Homo-oligomer: A and B are copies of this chain.
Amino acid sequence: MPAPTFRSVIRWGDPAQSGALNAATREALREQFNLSDTAFEQPFQAGDEPLRVAPGQLSDEQLHELQQLVGPENVDTSDVARARRSSGQSYLDVLRFRLGQLPKAPDAVVAPRNEAEIDALLAFCGRHSMPIVPVGGSTSVTRATEFPQGGICLDLSRHLNRVLEVDAKSGFARVQAGLLGPHYEAYLNQQGFTCGHFPQSFEHSTVGGWLAARGAGQQSTYYGKIEDIVLGMKVLTPAGSIDCKPYARTSTGPDWKHIFLGSEGCLGIITEATLKIWPVRGRSFFSFFLPSWEKGVELLREILQADFGRPGVLRLSDPEETELGLKLNGMAGGTTDTWLQRLGYKPGERCLMLGSAEGDTQSGLLLAARVHALALLRGALPLGPGPTRKWWKQRFHHPYLRAPMMDLGLIVDTLETSVSWTGLNALRQGVRQVLKARPRTLAMCHISHAYQTGANLYFIFTSPIDRDRQLEDYQQFHQQVVDAILAHGGSLSHHHGIGRLFAPWFREFAGATALDLLAGVKRQLDPQGIMNPGALGLAPA
């Protein structure tokens, strides 16, 4: 086995995936960024140096106590385990790794076997004023799980990973928070059900992570975000446990689930959840070219407001994203392109829309028919199921592309924001302006989730980094884009969360009284401040 490197430790996903760029992508990137052959031959700052991790700070007594608590085989203090859990998967995380600037790692990765052991670990950390952070798949893109003062990384995925109950009649399942997405889905599929939650990180994510990040899946327009899927939650806090019972709806005072959803490990350890499940039924794909972004947006709005059912996948790519997609698929400038242009779908204006109908088959047929009828009224060209099917097959693969693109000296990042239909176009325009003000920046945008009252805009941007001041260059650029989002009325996040990356904006975004309330809730549930200190901007940073 080769020695672990900075690169191998921060690597995304399945090691069996090559993650190499295909020829079309290389060509498109060469053209966009005016890259030389050398760029492709000599990876920039690949992070291939052997991993170096500062040793943990547990005393022998502390380590012994931990081993007593959960069993020695459930306390991992190895360099690789600690380094892997030291950060998430934001662009900044990867950049820091490749610069050899590994953030401080947890002192140990601890996998409790039951809830009593979690309580004991909370008490242990309280006694030693030691941070404790529940970590799922370490796929945060907001620096949500870090260990600036070391401490314990709590890994529920080893033991607390079971489906406890499937109530097929009521349509829900009760599961443990360490359950991995693919294991959950496979278990449900065997019984004819689906979990409905498929974030891009699905393959490496846990139920606890879905909840703590208040995440969304790629089919959430149909199934709902995780806050729409979850019925009940059990949370262990240093101040005691809170059990939110899984009623469909109640009127029994505040709904505490909504305090723990998005709490990013700052308030307690989510140990169990009761989640809605759906029968596995048919799925059909559709796709269109729209003559313009504006017509595409109107179409999506109309679909969501017409109320003949909600699509599962529903995505609208803006002209720049659409054009790159055509290029990568070898269709830009070819005969297809000529044909498209003759039909009125012109580069720089045309937009690709992808969609699926889920659930009940008859309703899905009606939905697809109505979508087609509305699309035609907006001047759309139906493309059949092909483009969506193609996207579907690759839908968890895009994160693999980041490493080889970073090898070319490129910033590769994304930002997402919730906005009303009324504010949507101005927001995209405003953010695009900031992105395009930076030379040679590829600035793509799509609607990834749509609602009756608005949508989520997902920006993907790529730009050559200033090699002499990488961190500063990226951070400055990132800050400008976030500022533009907020200036145009977007939310600070739609499904990625706050973590430490967006903490500098959080107080102004949420308001001082709300942030003081959050700090107060934290003081009450976590009086010693041991739960993921610094995330959500909760002191100490």
Contacts of A213 in B (CB 8 A): 251
The answer to whether B305 and A215 have CB atoms under 8 Å apart is: no
Contacts of A331 in B (CB 8 A): none
Does A261 make an interface contact (CB < 8 A)?
yes
Q: Give the contact stretch, choosing among A381-389, A473-481, A505-513.
A: A505-513
Instruction: Please state if A455 and B516 are interface contacts (CB–CB under 8 Å).
Output: no
What is the count of identical protomers in the complex?
2
Chain B residue with Cβ nearest A225:
B249
A216, B249: Cα distance in complex, Å: 10
A172 to B510, CA, bound (A): 21
**Does A491 contact B247, Cβ atoms closer than 8 Å?**
yes
**A498 adjacent to chain B (CB < 8 Å):** yes
Q: A258-B258, A516-B524 are in contact. Are A251 and B497 (CB under 8 A)?
A: yes
Chain B nearest CB from A521 CB (Å) reads 7
Which stretch, A79-87, A155-163, A287-295, A418-426, touches the partner chain B?
A418-426
Q: Residues 499-538 of chain A: 1 if any B CB is under 8 Å from the residue's CB, otherwise 0? A: 0000000100111111011101100110000000000100
Interface: A276 (CB within 8 A): yes
Q: Does A170 contact B (CB under 8 A)?
A: yes
Please tell me if the beta carbons of A169 and B301 are within 8 angstroms of each other in the complex: yes
- List residues of chain B with CB within 8 A of the CB of A363: 307-309, 366
Chain B residue, CB-CB nearest to A416: B251
* Residue of A248, A253, A454 most packed against chain B (CB within 10 A): A253
Add 10 more A-B contacts to A169-B421, A227-B255, A251-B494 (CB < 8 A).
A171-B452, A214-B251, A241-B511, A245-B491, A247-B420, A249-B449, A252-B492, A254-B518, A276-B452, A520-B521
Chain A positions within 8 Å of B, measured between CB atoms, are: 167, 169-172, 213-216, 225, 227, 231, 237, 239-264, 276, 278-279, 301, 305-309, 359-360, 362-363, 366, 370, 418-423, 449, 451-456, 491-498, 506, 509-514, 516-518, 520-521, 524-525, 536
